[in-house]
Amino acid sequence: MTMPFEPYSPDPGLSAIMSERRQLTNLAYRLLGSLTDAEDVVQETYARWYAMSGPEQEAIENPAAWLTRVAGRICLDVLGSARARRERYVGEWIPEPVPDSTEWIGGRPGAGAPAGPADPADQITLDESISMAFLIVLEAMTPAERVAFVLHDVFRYPFAEVAEIVGRTPAACRQLASSARRRIRAARPPEPPPSRQADLVREFKRAWQAKDINALIGLLDPDATAIADGGGVVSALARPIVGGERIARRMVDITGLVAGVTFLERTVNGRPGLVAQRDGVTMVVVAFGVADDRISHIWAVLNPGKLQPWITD
């Protein structure tokens, strides 16, 4: 007897749960500054979901909110131990760079999303929230401050929901976000348009390749800072270099070390940056901070463990 063919129909509940993966990864990356850690958090979040019985899952009215709450709490725990791990890290620690920002702008879906803060000036766009400069400022915050700020100002979660994740009152979370907001505003000078930033990065690359120290000095802010992250795996600057002229001279000094390296202009964390490759293998990813029409910060990531997203670049 031939059984009637029944076309496969995916479980709509499963599809809805799995559709949150990108949102959770976006959130965890901004909270932790590490794509590797973010993916671990998402895996653990789903593991906890599937560890529940069917009736337990069905009893959850809003699975998406449950997943976010669990992921946020895991991130909070990770951030609590991150400072100790940073102290054991060899050399300077820089957030893990990610490629073109179009893959990292998720945000909370518009349908049914809670209202954002009353003051539009308090709203940070998702594109801004992955810039290296932004992530560096987040690193200086307390775990609770960082979680409250990112959930509310970046992903627009109301303080009532944030409070459930942070374990504090909505009023306390509002104060945490306000404190974080002041840090962000104090540390973020106005940026020129992306096209101008791209021009500065391109001119920097040309001047470096030409060993034009005067051109480099002209492109760098007098108080510029350069930081390199090798993680103890590859050689990197032992400590930050401060001063535009010092950075320019150091860049010229190391030109011999980059022989045979191809520099590609790429988007790094939503901003114009450079990717250095040798024989098609990414060796360094460089992000830039720009202020007052000059390069104010250079962040060079050499640690191979942080360059996995760039393998197929």
131 and 268 belong to one structural domain: no
Q: Where is average pLDDT lowest: 76-85, 209-218, 239-248?
A: 76-85
Residue 110 has pLDDT above 90, yes or no: no
116 and 20 belong to one structural domain: yes
* 261, part of any domain: yes
Region 54-63: what's the mean pLDDT? 92
CATH code of the domain in which 200 resides = 3.10.450.50
- Res 189: pLDDT: 78
State pLDDT tens for residues 225-276.
Answer: 999 999 888 877 778 999 999 999 999 988 777 778 899 999 999 999 999 9
State pLDDT tens for residues 283-295.
Answer: 999 999 999 999 9
Over the range 49-81, which residues count as b (16 or more CB within 10 Å of their CB) and which as e? beeeeeeeeeeeeeebebbbbbbbbbbbebbee
Residue 101 has pLDDT above 70, yes or no: no
Domain count, the chain: 2
Of 187, 217, 239, the position where a domain reaches its end is 187
CA distance 64 to 67: 5
176 and 247 belong to one structural domain: no
- Res 70: pLDDT: 97
* 21, part of any domain: yes
Q: Are strands 220-229 and 294-301 parallel, antiparallel or unpaired?
A: parallel
Residue 202 has pLDDT above 50, yes or no: yes
Q: Where is average pLDDT lowest: 15-19, 71-75, 158-162?
A: 15-19
At residue 226's C-alpha, the angle toward residues 221 and 231, to 5°, is 170
202 and 159 belong to one structural domain: no
21 and 167 belong to one structural domain: yes
**Structure-block tokens of residue 89:** 């890290």
* 6, part of any domain: no
Of 187, 217, 234, the position where a domain reaches its end is 187
* 81, part of any domain: yes
**CB-based contact 240:224 (threshold 8 Å):** no
Of 152, 187, 222, the position where a domain reaches its end is 187
- Res 10: pLDDT: 43
Whole-number percent of the chain with pLDDT over 70: 86
52 and 165 belong to one structural domain: yes
Region 212-234: what's the mean pLDDT? 94
**Residue 307 pLDDT grade (very low, low, confident, very high; cuts 50, 70, 90):** very high
208 and 271 belong to one structural domain: yes
**Residue 115 pLDDT grade (very low, low, confident, very high; cuts 50, 70, 90):** very low
Which structural domain range is residue 241 located in?
Answer: 194-310
Provide the mean pLDDT of the chain: 85
73 and 168 belong to one structural domain: yes
* 4, part of any domain: no
216 and 258 belong to one structural domain: yes
Residue 108 has pLDDT above 90, yes or no: no
Region 23-33: what's the mean pLDDT? 93
- Res 238: pLDDT: 77
168 and 20 belong to one structural domain: yes
**Residue 126 pLDDT grade (very low, low, confident, very high; cuts 50, 70, 90):** low
Residue 52 has pLDDT above 60, yes or no: yes
35 and 131 belong to one structural domain: yes
* 30, part of any domain: yes
**Residue 125 pLDDT grade (very low, low, confident, very high; cuts 50, 70, 90):** low
Q: Are strands 262-268 and 220-229 parallel, antiparallel or unpaired?
A: unpaired
**Residue 1 pLDDT grade (very low, low, confident, very high; cuts 50, 70, 90):** very low
209 and 303 belong to one structural domain: yes
